[in-house]
């Protein structure tokens, strides 16, 4: 990635999954907004920050984010824009209420709800046609070499994007590299593995002009220190339980600021 974070801001995001109740989600969001409004890494544009609450919280969280630099994500969407699909939420409605991006293909959706490649491809299509930025999760199931991991995850991206690109849809995506074997682990994947796989994903994205502006970030037990150890070669983080303390996010933003100062 370029050395200047001003030219290429790091992307930092948090998914709350289904850990919080409604009141706690809103209190957490308000605290994150306070951090974002005052932190120099966000104010300077060195970082792009997003949060992904549960579906019932999207509208009140959108109101809390109003006027702030924090983007709003949803945890999923339907492949269709309307119809008799009880329990589903359409990309059309997500866009209408002000959602910016949508998480697709998380390993939990794939394993617990048996989402197929075709399901994921349909959701990516739905996101792009509704002008939502897809946050596409990719990762190898078992630990492998970085070269094998790059082949695996870029093949996943090919399959997930094929329907949308075949129909001429275009736009930036966030590729969240989350090796399945590292999700929920005590430690993230080894630093050199993360750097190598992210570089491979970035090289793949650079070959897809219809995806101009796309970024690759790391998830899977991500936490403080990783960006610093990556020495500017990690384009961002997708955080989980570490960020349940909203002020822990400031720790990551401090790292971004330090990287920006020394770039």
Active-site residue, selected from the candidate residues 103, 115, 178, 255: 178
DSSP H helical ranges for the chain: 22-38, 40-43, 58-65, 91-96, 107-112, 117-129, 146-166, 191-206, 226-230, 248-261
Q: Dihedrals φ, ψ of 95, to 5°?
A: -65, -40
* Strands 174-177 and 47-52, bridge-based pairing: unpaired
The active-site residue out of 39, 48, 103, 106 is 106
262 is a catalytic site residue: no
Q: How far apart are CA 105 and CA 221, in angstroms?
A: 17
* Residue 178: active-site member: yes
User: Would you call 185 helix, strand, or coil by DSSP?
Assistant: coil
Classify residue 87 as exposed, middle or buried by CB count within 10 Å of its CB (0-12, 13-18, 19+): exposed
In the numeric block, the tokens 């075709």 are attached to 118
> Token digits for 19?
């850990």
Task: Name the β-bridge partners of 51.
Answer: 14, 72
**Catalytic machinery residues:** 106, 178
């Amino acid at each position: 990635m370029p050395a200047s974070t001003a030219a290429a801001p790091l992307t930092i995001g948090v998914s709350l999954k289904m850990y919080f109740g409604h009141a706690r989600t809103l209190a957490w969001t308000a605290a994150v907004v306070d951090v974002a409004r005052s932190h120099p890494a966000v104010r300077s544009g060195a970082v792009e920050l997003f949060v992904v609450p549960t579906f019932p919280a999207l509208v009140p969280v959108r109101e809390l984010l109003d006027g702030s630099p924090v983007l709003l994500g949803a945890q999923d969407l339907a492949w269709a824009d309307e119809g008799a699909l009880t329990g589903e939420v359409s990309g059309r409605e997500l866009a209408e209420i002000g959602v910016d991006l949508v998480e697709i293909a998380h390993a939990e959706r794939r394993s617990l709800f048996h989402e197929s490649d075709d399901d994921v491809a349909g959701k990516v299509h739905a996101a792009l046609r509704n002008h939502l930025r897809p946050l596409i999760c990719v990762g190898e199931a078992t630990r492998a070499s970085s070269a094998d991991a790059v082949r695996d995850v870029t093949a996943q991206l090919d399959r997930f994007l094929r329907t949308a690109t075949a129909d001429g849809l275009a736009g930036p995506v966030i590729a969240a590299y989350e090796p399945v074997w590292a999700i929920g682990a005590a430690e993230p994947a080894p630093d050199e593995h993360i750097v190598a796989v992210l570089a491979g994903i970035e090289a793949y994205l650079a070959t897809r002009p219809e995806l101009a502006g796309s970024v690759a970030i790391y998830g899977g037990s991500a936490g403080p220190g990783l960006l610093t150890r990556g020495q500017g070669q990690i384009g961002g983080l997708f955080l989980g339980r570490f960020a349940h303390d909203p002020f822990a996010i400031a720790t990551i933003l401090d790292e971004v600021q330090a990287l920006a100062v020394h770039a």
